[in-house]
Amino acid sequence: MEEMESNKMFEVLPKKEVISLKREKEKLEKVLTGIKDMEKLPAAIFVVDPKKEKIAVAEAIKLSIPIVAIVDTNCNPEEIDYVIPGNDDAIRAVKLLSSVIADAVIEGRKSTIEKEAEMVKA
């Protein structure tokens, strides 16, 4: 769609179709902007409810991306690589588990940066 817009293709199309295409483009940009700018695949994904996010889980499985997920009793844990048993419907539980995961990721990144800095010095 961006290509169509830059090539002045919108000027040839009927006004109604142009409006429809622009709305669709806005929707896609709203949902996929972060993915568009990614240079490489993520090392892992964190999913709160695998049942609701089955598309993301299926894509991660296809691309062999490890999945870390909060799994409730209503989900199938077999397709998840790292299962965190918990209530994925309770906001407080999700906030707590998400903050612990986020802190662990930040700590892991810091230690990786420190190790790389030590290797450069040596």
3-state secondary structure (DSSP) of residue 94: helix
Output 33 or 94, whichever has higher pLDDT.
94
Tens of pLDDT, residues 1-20? 777 777 777 777 888 888 88
Q: Is the pLDDT of residue 31 over 80?
A: no
Pair 66, 116 in one domain: yes
Alpha-carbon distance of 63 to 93, in angstroms, equals 29
Tens of pLDDT, residues 36-47? 777 888 899 999
Pair 104, 70 in one domain: yes
Can you give the CATH number for the domain in which 84 is found?
3.40.50.10490
- Read off the pTM: 0.67
Pair 58, 95 in one domain: yes
Output 81 or 39, whichever has higher pLDDT.
81
Pair 68, 110 in one domain: yes
Question: For the chain, what is the mean pLDDT?
Answer: 87
Alpha-carbon distance of 117 to 96, in angstroms, equals 32
Amino acid identity of residue 106, one-letter, is I
Phi, psi values for residue 2, rounded to 5°: -60, -40
3-state secondary structure (DSSP) of residue 67: strand
Q: Give the Å distances, CA to CA, from 104 to 24, 77, 90, 108, 110.
A: 38, 22, 21, 6, 10
Domain that holds residue 81: 45-121
Q: How many domains does the chain have?
A: 2
